[in-house]
Structure formats: C-alpha cells, structure tokens
A and B are shown apart, each in its own frame.
Chain A
Amino acid sequence: MVSAGIDIGSRSIECVLIENGLIKAARKTDTGYDPMSQAKKLIADLSFDSILATGYGRNLFELEYDSKTVTEIKAHAKGARFSFPEALTILDIGGQDSKVIRLDITGKVVRFEMNDRCAAGTGKFLEIMAQALGFSMDTFGTAAKNAQKSLGISSMCTVFAESEVTSLLARGENPEEIAKGLHQSVVKRAAAMLNRVSPEGPVVFTGGVAKNTCIVKFLEQTIHREVWVPESPEMNGAIGAALIAGEN
C-alpha cells in the first residue's frame, strides 16, 4: 500500500509517498499562480493507492481528485509524531504563516494558534529582509550568526520593518548586525506564541524556516528548551497527510 500526502500551501506544494511506514519519495514545487495545475504536474508520474490533501489548496484538490482532506494542523501533528514519537509541541514557520500546536500524549491536538493574516514572523518576512540587505537566503542566516551584536528592529510589520532596515543602512549600520536583529525578531514572535500555547518541553520545529540554522540556534537560546528539527522540515505537513491517507 502506497499512500500519498500533498500539502498545497500558499507559496509551495510538497508531496510525499509512504509505503510500510517509510518515505518512498518526497518532492516539492512552487505554488505559482495556478496551484491546481502545479499540483497536478507534481504528482503526474507518481502512483499510489490513496491520496489526502492538506494546506490552503486542499479544498480545490478535493474537488478534482475526490480525495479526503485534513487541515494543516492535524497533518503537522501527525508528521511531527512520525519524526519524533514523543512530540508534544510543534512550531511550524512556513512561507506565509506560522503556528504552534500542542498535543496530548496520545498525539491528539489539544490547542493551537495560527498567524496567517500577515507576513510578520514568517519565511516571507525573512526573504524580503534578506533582499533589502543584499543577502541571498543561503548567506542570510550565517551573516546573522557572525554578527557581534544585534540591532533591535522595532517593527514587526514587513512593510515598516523594510523601511526601518533601509534607514539603518543609510545611517551606516552593519548589515550583519541588522540581520541578527531581524532573525531575533522572528524568534521573539515565535517564542511568545510558544509560551502562550505550549510553554514547556522540547519543541519540534517544522516548515521551511526551520532549515535556517541561525533561527534554530536563537530559538534555543531564547526559550531554553530543546528544539528538534526533522530531516526535511518543509515536508512535515505532506508526511502527516500521507500517514493519514494510509490509515483510511
């Protein structure tokens, strides 16, 4: 039995195939302007016995493929447990949203909170800031890690933060220190959400932003808790969806 999970997010689409509890394939593409045709292309050459969709595009997918759907919340809970069976807290920071989920010991969701109304504190925020500072996404985290001190950025709003960055640069401030300040502002926001929703124990950190090792390091330093990052953190939702597809 091969089960597939597809996570159709606002910025990227991931697909995972699972057979006998092992990941057989994992791939991803940009959402672009036409999520459905992108999703179709992504799975065109795959064969599976069942498929389940999650993410913002799940309902469109359901219409075309007659597949079942679950919310990102449930999919992430399942995916995190696959990588870390003892997981009780999940932080997911994706391209355009962030969320914290708390599980009970059986893996059931007991509480969650989402920020999906603005780009503040998400991957998009970091991308725009990297651009404003002239870094590529690959060098941005390293630059922040290297900085001696951190320049506080007071605006969380992407638009305001961008103009704050521009005026700091104009004042001749060090870009690495600004980068550090920006990373820390994302971490602060995540830490506040974690403290509200699930204030204790190790945190499973998923989503594209979890690949930024600087964010991971700052997060650990800020919340004084262990942070566990799965091998492919951006695949977590799709893994969860594939697992749930396999159950049905």
Chain B
Amino acid sequence: MKAQLFKKLQQITEQNLMDIESHKQNGNHAIGFYCLYAPTELATAADAIPLPLCGTRQDPIEAAEEALPRNLCPLIKSSYGFAASDTCPFFRFSDMIVADTTCDGKKKMFELMNRITPVHVLQLPQQQNTDLFLDPWKAEISLLKQKVENLTGKQITDQDISNAIQLLNREREALKRLMDVTRAIPSPLTGMELIEILFKTGFFADKHKGIAIMDEIADACETMVQNGESPFKKTTPRILMTGVPVGLGSDKVIRIIEESGANVVAFENCSGYKKTFQVDETKDPLTALAETYLSIPCSVMSPNPGRFDLLEEMITGFSVDGVVDLTWQACHTYNIEAYGVQEFVADRFALPYLHIETDYSQSDTEQLRVRIEAFLEMI
C-alpha cells in the first residue's frame, strides 16, 4: 500500500514539471521563495505557483564557489550555484524571486544573485511580535503584495488572500497530519520516507494534488499502525532532528542514523514541523499573515524562545529517545544556538544529545557514522 503511494508520488512529481509548464502557458506565473518567512499565500492569491528554491544538493556548489567563499553554508552555496549554473528547473520557471534578509550569508548572496535575475528581498526583522517590528514587517508584506500584483497584472483582494490562507492552512493541516503519524510507537514511516514526501510535495503546482497524496499516505500509515505494521520495532531508538533545514540531497545524516538502526521520527526544522502553523482566518488577512510568519522560530531571530517551546512539545509528543542537532558548516546562528539546545535537552529531559556540523559532501560519512553510532550507544 505504502509502496504504491510512493510510486504515485513519483508519478505526480514527474508530471509536475509539465503541470507548471502548462500553467505558465496559460498566462499564469511562478514565484520562487528562499525561506519559510515569506508568505506564499501572496503568490497563491494571484494564481502564481510558489516554488521552494533552497538548494539541497551538492552538485552546483562547485559552480557557486567561483563567486562565493568556500567557507560558507552549503545551503547558500547550493542555492546560488543552481542559479549561476542554470541547472534548477524550478529556478528557471520562477518569474520572480522572493528572498529575505535572514542570516548574513544569505542576504549578501542575494545581492550577487540579483545580478543573475531580479530578487525581491523582504527586510525581515530579527525580533518577533512586538509592534516595533511587526509594523515594518507588515509593510514589507504589503509591498510584496504590490510586487506580485505588478508581475501578474492581477489585483489581489482581501478575499483572494483569505482564500489562499484557507487553502494553505488546509495544506499545512495535511502536512501536520502526515508528520504526526510517526508519533505511533513504532512509527509506520522512516525519516527518509518522510523527507522524500515533504520535499517532493513542496514543488507541486496543484496544491490539491499535494494535499490529496499526503492525506492518502497518512491514511495508509494510520491503517498500518492499527494493524501493528512498521519497518521498526517497539524498541527502535526514536530520534528528533533539530537545526537547519534538510531535503533530498542533504539527507546524509538522516540516512546514517537510520542505517545505524534508529528512526528519525521528528524534524524540528523549517523543512519539517515548523511548517505546520495555522494562519488565523478570522483576522484581517495581511495582519494575520504578518503575525504568523514572523513568529516562525528560526535561529536568525534574537532571542528565539519559540524554538525551545516547539522542542519541548515535540520531544514529549513524539516520545523521543535522543536529539540530533544539525548545523550546516559556517551557519553561525544555528551553531551558536546549539549550546543552549544541548543545555535544554540535558537539563530538561536528560536525553542524549549530539551536535553535528557538516556540509553536503560525502567526505566525512565515516566520521559521522562513528559519532552517530556512539550517540546511539548512549540510548
């Protein structure tokens, strides 16, 4: 059952490029996004397809290093490399690129990317939900709305935004339901499977297709749980991954953890559970978007208390046996925050914790394996 659904997922993925193409041939647009902070609702409200562009593969990094320093976060290099070498179909589809002033590396990279293609950069505040920061952030979001209107030639009404919020809330509900199936002990899904679903559905031109397949997989998983089926045992160590985003191509740590006999059941990062928020449908839509998006607990915020609340909830809710905190090399914000996370996990939960700093290359696989196996021996 599950295997068939993964086949179907693959079919939709292959079909998707054509879906985007025909959508564009019909006079519609696609908008590329680099970070979870930018509300994709504004694209959806203008019938444009939002495409997540963060680079998760090693291949384009060499091309990026012609312009960027080697000693930079691989996510930034990969993102830039795809643009510079013109090897990402989704980048090519994007009629407009939306970025945010998140970490230093990313925002300076966007200045260079802007030479390849125009990048609209949102000035993201670094503190959350005080009026001092919320008001300018709301202004940024209104400006983005205008930019999208200019691009698409479509007036975006409040009703359009509300409809988009409803649709994407529905999508986020499906994401949450899918990610919640691994709360079961043992879990019906591997971490690698979960990453594959999250990654692939992110690009779907038709949100309804994504929602439908996620619901179908979640249904199948719930049936597996009822029938006591799982790729794991009840005693399989359950790992929570926290830290930087991961996707297909930047999944080596998850793979090694699962090859070493554990199961990654939860992703506390912006490619995982941080995506499961709901935007208030009763408020003025722009205000609701501004508030909800600004409260995303990423380490670029200072301070970033929301991450610890989310960790607390997830460590308990997913019955976690250990925490792996992943930092991409040269990501200062996550690297420094790791100190507090390690303290939090030790003091609050007395659980084994492992901090890993690595990049997208395979060169340290064996070294990582030693650390990960030693970490699992601690459980």
B251 on interface, CB distance cutoff 8 Å: no
Chain A CB within 8 A of B131 CB: no
CB neighbors of A among B48-72 (8 A): none
* Contact B374–A112 (Cβ < 8 Å): yes
Binary contact readout B343-366 vs A (1 if CB under 8 angstroms, 0 otherwise): 000000000110000000000101
Do B378 and A71 touch (CB < 8 A)?
no
A114: CB under 8 A from chain B? yes
Q: How far is the CA of A35 from the CA of B181 in the complex (A)?
A: 44
Contact B370 A116 (CB under 8 A): yes
Q: How far is the CA of A111 from the CA of B355 in the complex (A)?
A: 11
Is B370's CB under 8 angstroms from A71's CB? yes
Is B377 part of the contact surface with A, judged by Cβ < 8 Å? yes
Q: How far is the CA of A114 from the CA of B367 in the complex (A)?
A: 9
- Neighbouring B residues of A71 by C-beta, 8 Å: 370, 373-374, 377
**CB of A126 to closest CB in B, whole Å:** 21
Contacts of B352 in A (CB 8 A): 110
Determine if A68 is an interface residue (Cβ-Cβ < 8 Å): no
Interface string of A57-91 (1 = CB under 8 A from B): 00000000000001111100000000000000000
A156 at the binding interface (Cβ < 8 Å): no
* B7 adjacent to chain A (CB < 8 Å): no
Q: Using an 8 Å CB-CB cutoff, how does the interface string of A96-131 with B read, 1 for contact, 0 for none?
A: 000000000000111110101100000000000000
B233 on the A face (CB < 8 A): no
B371 touches A114 (CB 8 A): yes
CA distance A111 to B323 in the complex (A): 13
Size bracket, chain B contacts: 10 to 19
Question: Quick check: is A56 within 8 A (CB to CB) of the other chain?
Answer: yes
CA A117 to CA B365, docked complex, whole Å: 11
Given the complex of chains A and B, what is the CA–CA distance between A220 and B374 in angstroms? 28
Q: Are A109 and B370 closer than 8 Å at their CB atoms?
A: no
How far apart are the CA atoms of A110 and B322 in the complex, in Å? 12
Rounded to whole angstroms, the CA-CA distance of A116 and B378 in the bound complex is 20
Complex-state Cα separation, A56 to B370, whole angstroms: 8
Quick one: which of B352, B364, B371 has the most chain A CB within 10 A?
Answer: B371
Contacts of B366 in A (CB 8 A): 56
Nearest-Cβ distance from residue B92 to partner chain A, whole angstroms: 36
Q: Is A74 within 8 A of B364, CB to CB? A: no
> Is A114 in contact with B370, judged by CB distance below 8 angstroms?
yes
CA distance A128 to B373 in the complex (A): 31
Closest to B378 in A: A109
CA distance A114 to B378 in the complex (A): 15
Q: Are A70 and B367 in contact (CB under 8 A)?
A: no
User: Once the chains bind, are B377 and A70 in contact (CB under 8 Å)?
Assistant: yes
Is A109 touching B364 in the complex (CB atoms < 8 A)?
A: no
Q: How far is the CA of A156 from the CA of B175 in the complex (A)?
A: 47
Judging by beta carbons under 8 Å apart, are A74 and B370 in contact? no
Question: Does A74 lie within 8 Å of B374, measured CB to CB?
Answer: yes
Q: Which B residues are CB-close (under 8 A) to A117?
A: 364, 367
Considering only residues 11-68 of chain A, those with a C-beta below 8 Å from chain B are 56
Residue among A56, A71, A108, A111 with the highest chain B CB neighbour number at 10 A: A71
Bound: A74/B364 CA distance, A: 20
In the complex the two chains form, is A74's CB within 8 Å of B367's CB? Answer: no
Once the chains bind, are B371 and A108 in contact (CB under 8 Å)? Answer: no
List of A residues within 8 angstroms of B377 by Cβ: 70-71, 73-74, 109
| Given known A56-B370, A71-B370, A116-B370, contact A110–B378 (CB-CB < 8 A) | yes
CB of A116 within 8 A of CB of B374, answer no
Give 1 or 0 for each of B158-186: 1 = CB within 8 Å of chain A CB.
Answer: 00000000000000000000000000000
Per the bound structure, the CA–CA distance linking A111 and B370 in Å amounts to 14
Report whether A116 and B367 are in contact in the complex, using a CB–CB cutoff of 8 Å.
Answer: yes
A145 to B360 CA separation, bound complex (whole angstroms): 44
The CA-CA distance from A109 to B378 in the complex, in Å, is 6
**Distance between Cα atoms of A110 and B374 in the complex (Å):** 10
Contact of A108 with B370 in the complex, beta carbons under 8 Å? no
Using CB atoms, name the residue of chain A closest to B376: A71
Cα-based distance from A56 to B367 in the complex (angstroms) = 8
Q: Would you give the shortest CB distance from B79 to chain A, in whole angstroms? A: 25
Judge whether B378 and A108 touch: CB under 8 Å: yes
Q: How far is the CB of B82 from chain A (nearest CB, A)?
A: 27
How distant is A217 from chain B, measured CB to nearest CB, in Å?
30
Minimal Cβ-Cβ distance residue in A for B342 = A111
Bound state CA distance, A108 and B378, in angstroms? Answer: 7
Question: Given A73-B370, A110-B378, 13 other A-B contacts at CB below 8 A?
Answer: A56-B366, A71-B370, A71-B373, A72-B374, A74-B377, A108-B378, A109-B378, A110-B352, A111-B353, A114-B367, A114-B370, A114-B371, A117-B364
Q: Please name 23 pairs of A and B residues whose Cβ atoms are closer than 8 Å in the assembled complex, sorted by A.
A: A56-B366, A56-B370, A70-B377, A71-B370, A71-B373, A71-B374, A72-B370, A73-B374, A73-B377, A74-B374, A74-B377, A108-B378, A109-B374, A109-B377, A109-B378, A110-B352, A110-B378, A112-B374, A114-B367, A114-B370, A114-B371, A116-B370, A117-B364
- Name A's B-contacting residues (CB within 8 A): 56, 70-74, 108-112, 114, 116-117
Which 3 pairs across A and B sit closest by C-beta, in order of nearness?
Answer: A73-B374, A71-B374, A71-B373
